[in-house]
Amino acid sequence: MLQGVRQALWALLLIVSVAQAQFNFFDQMFGGGEQQQRQQQRSQQAASDSSRYQQMWAGAQCDNYLCPGTLACVHFPHHCPCPHPDVEEKVELGEGSAICVSKGGFKEGEAARKIELARKGAL
């Protein structure tokens, strides 16, 4: 008799767990999780003002030059790294100035070559 009660309880537990899993599946499938996703997206979006950047700027410690785009601490402004080095190339223009431009193609230094051609009026 005790074994029959145990089997009945296990069967009931199995049915309840399967039903719970099924309802969770349908809840996620048909929009129950949308509200949670929207809340996560809102919290990940950056504010439209510059207060977060200003806080980071104020908290940065640098004895030399603090790069405005990356908040890197360097000795000279033209030593600042590009904010997006995977898609940008730093080109030094001379006299201690540099700019970051989109990479110009497949060859290394192509952006710098095009800038130099433009400076000479050849482009």
Tally of structural domains, the chain: 1
- Say what the pTM is: 0.52
- When pLDDT is cut at 50, 70 and 90, the band that residue 5 belongs to is low
Write the pLDDT tens digit of every residue in 56-101. Answer: 999 999 999 999 999 999 999 989 999 999 989 888 888 888 889 8
Instruction: Answer whether residue 101 is part of any domain.
Output: yes
Instruction: Answer whether residue 38 is part of any domain.
Output: no
Range of the domain at 80: 63-119
pLDDT (0 to 100) of residue 50: 86
23 vs 48, residue with greater confidence: 48
pLDDT (0 to 100) of residue 24: 56
Instruction: Answer whether residue 2 is part of any domain.
Output: no
Give, as one character, the DSSP assignment of residue 70.
T
Q: Measured between alpha carbons, how far is 22 from 12 in angstroms, rounded to an integer?
A: 15
* Helix spans in 1-123 (H): 2-29, 34-44, 51-59, 110-119
CA separation, residue 106 to residues 74, 87, 103, 110, 111 (Å): 29, 11, 8, 8, 10
